[in-house]
Amino acid sequence: MTMTPESRSTDIATDPWKRLVRATGVVGLVTFVVLFAGVIASAPGEPPFTASAEEALAFYLNSTASWVQAAMAVAGLAAIGWIWFVVGLCLLLGRAEGSPPWRSAVALVCGVMLAAMLLLNTSGNAASFGAADLDPALANYAFDVSSLGFANVWVGMGGFAVFCGWVVLSTRIVGRWLGWWAIAAGLGLAIARFFWTSWFWLLPYAAFWIWMIIVCIKLVRKPGDVLSAAVGRAGPNDQRP
């Protein structure tokens, strides 16, 4: 079968996008594993957000082992994988959204807030590193700063999920049900910020990560179908390479 110049250029243009779609899914899954492996390993016996000063100090004193410090570094490295996943997914959603891809852009900015928290919210890491010199009051302050930074990032994660879900609903790029799931999880995370000391946050937080895993699996298994849906749903004014 003879290919026309138009079809040949289309194939050339979509091949890099297919690689991007699959790579985004793979990186997202690897990032999830690395992130939670590092977080779980670096937080043995972590007390609740309402911990007393003595509990906070005991937690940091138990986190001085070298392997715990290494686990913290691993969690920080996962931030780079998260950025890759967020950028790749938002590029794909932007292609489906068409021009101007403003919802995808907002999702991108919201999504990188988690990476910023992982890299910049270092009060807990510093307290763990120098736990031998801490008094209970200072340990409690460091614990509260770290906990509130974590709670604040729920809003950014929620914004990322809501705007991704909004694009998915309007384009059906990975299925409308995943769009509704993302919006529900995102709104739940934003609401959880107002009740951050309760255990309510675990429900939308778990829903968010399960949503991410399902999206990644779709990107890995059927990158061509996802890309075809994105191209087919792009607006008439979208400028594609």
Instruction: Select the more confidently predicted residue: 69 or 24.
Output: 24
Cis peptide bond N-terminal to 44, omega within 30? no
Instruction: Select the more confidently predicted residue: 30 or 231.
Output: 30
DSSP string, 89-154: HHHHHHHHH-SS-HHHHHHHHHHHHHHHHHHH--HHHHHHHTGGG--HHHHHHHHHHHHHHHHHHH
Does the pLDDT value for residue 239 go beyond 80? no
- Of the ranges 20-24, 107-111, 173-177, which one carries the lowest mean pLDDT score? 173-177
- CA distance linking residue 201 with residue 196, whole number of Å: 7
Quote the crossing angle between the two packed helices 223-233 and 66-97, to the nearest 10°.
40
Task: Give the pLDDT of residue 12.
Answer: 38
Task: Give the pLDDT of residue 234.
Answer: 54
Query: pTM for this structure?
Result: 0.85
Residue boundaries of the structural domains of the chain: 15-227
Does the pLDDT value for residue 7 go beyond 60? no
Coil, strand or helix at 2 = coil
Does the pLDDT value for residue 162 go beyond 90? yes
Task: Give the pLDDT of residue 201.
Answer: 94
